[in-house]
Amino acid sequence: MGKPSDLVGHPAPPLELPSIPDGQPFKLPIGEKPIAMFFFPTAGSTGCTMEACAFRDAQVENVTFKRHPDLCVVGISGDPTAKQASFADQHNLKYPILSDADGAARKAYGVGKAFFGMAEGRETFFIDAKGIVRGVYVKNLGFHAHVDFVEKQLLATEGTG
């Protein structure tokens, strides 16, 4: 479901985090291209694998995603980059996966906890090519719904060309 967020309609906070495969810093291309940024609890869990693979598959199979080859899909979890790299290799994930070990990115984007505070939340942010947060989607068990949310955001941008 869409989440009320103070960020919607405002510039996305800048973000630079260690990325797979070797921990080199990755700077989010805010204001350069549209971004689908999804926070997930932990690399390798069943739900996170389903969500990550849904984004992978959408880039290849989804007509709307294919019309937006400049879309930057980025996954973020608190896992160390070594664990994330293994996860990405195992599932052939080609997009950046960033390590938010200290939780600074979750804090900057207001990503909460799930399941009564027992797990990190699963949230997806859509940032347009101008660097404005256009929407936030929160659903901890609807793994494929995050891709649907991004697709709807991309369709909305087509009308504003």
Question: Which residues are marked as active site?
Answer: 48
Q: What share of the chain is helix, strand, coil (3-state, %, to 5)?
A: 30, 25, 45
Instruction: Identify the residue whose tokens are 């689908």.
Output: 36
Which tokens in the block code for residue 42?
A: 């932990």
What is the C-alpha separation between 8 and 83, in angstroms, rounded?
A: 31
What is the C-alpha separation between 72 and 159, in angstroms, rounded?
A: 20
